[in-house]
Structure 1
Amino acid sequence: MRRPDDAGRTVVVFDVDGTLVDSERDGHRVAFDAAFAAAGLPYRWSVEAYGRLLDVTGGRRRIAVFLEEQEYEPEEASVLAAALHADKTARFRELVAQGRVPARPGVPELIADLQKAGVTLAVATTGTLAWVEPLLERLFGADTFAEVVTGTDVRTLKPDPAVYREVLARLGVGPEQALAVEDSANGLTAALDAGLPCVVVTNDYTRGQDFTGALAVFDGFNDPDAAALLRQSAPWR
């Protein structure tokens, strides 16, 4: 991956699910349901039900919490969740390979503009490396992001700030030199607790959440004010 030329350079750190890409409703949810069906389980997650489950970060943990709600014992839920999540990840990778997980409108243009401006780009996501890496390569190219830190790399997931702290450590920059871009209250909390200012760009699942503390909140990347703020080359304070 491309390394930043200068430790003092401005950094923009993006979340992936729901932020860079439209992936939750017609990507992960579909793959989860297919994994349930393949395992002979009767569960299917409606659009609305999946939206509620997104309060639990991390796909494996999301399945385990759901199974415990179905009265599985915690240990049994954990073992079954691991198997289901592995199958779901393989199915989601197929969706990625088929081009069925698109970037959000305005994101490719923003990424290109930030690159031209010399801004260092990074990723901090709770998603697993197995699908995050091929997705980013397909949509943005292999060398776009200086660092990609995923839920595979840290022990605790958002809203814990571990993934942001790891990105900063790898880049060798302080939080005052970086800006986070998130779509959810959990992501916002993680960024703020790591000391990063955070811009929130909502989607249909996260619109209406509490974004107290955000530097700004926008409905999409095509909002002219969002584009102008994110294209700034100076630190965001």
Structure 2
Amino acid sequence: MIKAIIFDVDGTLADTEDGHRLSFNKAFAECGLNWNWDVALYDKLLKVTGGKERIKYFVSDFLQGYNKPADFDGFVKNLHVVKTRHYTSMISEGGVPLRPGIKQLILDAHAAGITLAIATTTTPENVSALLEVGLGRDWADLFSANGCGDIVPHKKPAPDIYFWVLEKLGLQAADCIALEDSENGLRSSLGAGIKTYVTINYYTRNHDFTGAAAVFDDLSDLAKFYKTAGLTLPK
């Protein structure tokens, strides 16, 4: 019996990646940097999870000859703060809706007494902005654990965030299923021993999802997902 569903956020609950990309570009411009991440480049940068980590990866692997500021970590942290401000503003204006079926899945599962949780590398501010628009001001009441950002030392594909969530929930991996959208996310959840379903998006369409219980384009057909996952829910 499935006792809990653990959700990734970016790319899973909503197609957020282009919103992140555009927000990074706005932050670069505001901070006087002539950097621009187009779709092709961002596709490569998504190899690394976490916004601050992605900036560092870009500088180290794509900016040959760049002279880092003396306090590079502080520079990256500030840049990411500016990016987060632009991103949460975009989200608050309704610029990034939840993916098909996601809201109904959350409401159905919660009504059925299934525990819900979040396991993501994005910041708490980003999660809150997205779900307040998508689920309402009381969205946090639907989730029993909110694992996000820098709450663990190692981000996906390391399984740390899933182990953290399992500990918070007081559940075993076998009691849960996870919903992910990327290879890094899948490696993370499988590393924690959690059966995982994948919904792909533009940026992850060519990822290796070996080990996933099933792969879907999206959850627009909830009845099919419920049957596949063994969930006894209304749809």
**What's the TM-score once normalised by structure 1's chain length?**
0.89
Percent pairwise identity: 42
**Which amino acid letter does the alignment assign opposite residue 22 of structure 1?**
D
Q: In 2, are the aligned partners of 1:202 and 1:220 still within 8 Å (CA)? A: yes
Q: In 1, are the aligned partners of 2:156 and 2:188 still within 8 Å (CA)? A: yes
Q: In 2, are the aligned partners of 1:113 and 1:231 still within 8 Å (CA)? A: no
RMSD: 1.9
CA–CA distance in structure 2, aligned partners of residues 222 and 145 of structure 1: 22
Offset of 1:96 from its aligned partner? 1.6
Offset of 1:22 from its aligned partner? 1.3
Matched, 1:209 2:201: no
**Which sections of structure 1, spanning at least 5 residues, go unmatched?**
1-7
- Aligned residue pair count: 226
Matched, 1:23 2:16: yes
Offset of 1:108 from its aligned partner? 1.1
**Which sections of structure 2, spanning at least 5 residues, go unmatched?**
none
CA–CA distance in structure 2, aligned partners of residues 226 and 49 of structure 1: 33
CA–CA distance in structure 2, aligned partners of residues 115 and 19 of structure 1: 18
Q: In 2, are the aligned partners of 1:151 and 1:163 still within 8 Å (CA)? A: no
**Which amino acid letter does the alignment assign opposite residue 100 of structure 1?**
G
Offset of 1:78 from its aligned partner? 3.3
Question: Residue 114 of structure 1: SS of its match in structure 2?
Answer: helix
Question: Residue 18 of structure 1: SS of its match in structure 2?
Answer: coil
Instruction: Call closer, same or farther: CA 1:73–1:178 in 2, change over 3 Å.
Output: farther
1:99-123, CA deviations, whole angstroms, 9 ceiling, x for partnerless residues?
1121001111111211222111110
Q: In 2, are the aligned partners of 1:158 and 1:190 still within 8 Å (CA)? A: yes
Q: In 1, are the aligned partners of 2:186 and 2:196 still within 8 Å (CA)? A: yes
Offset of 1:79 from its aligned partner? 3.4
Q: In 2, are the aligned partners of 1:126 and 1:150 still within 8 Å (CA)? A: yes
Which of 98, 106, 122 in structure 1 is aligned with 2:101? Answer: 106
Equivalence for 2:47: 55
Equivalence for 2:131: 136
Q: In 1, are the aligned partners of 2:226 and 2:232 still within 8 Å (CA)? A: no
Offset of 1:73 from its aligned partner? 5.6
TM alignment of 1:1-237, pairs within 5 A: 10-25=3-18, 27-68=19-60, 69-71=62-64, 72=66, 77-140=72-135, 141-223=139-221, 224-230=223-229, 232-233=231-232
Equivalence for 1:4: none
Offset of 1:76 from its aligned partner? 5.5
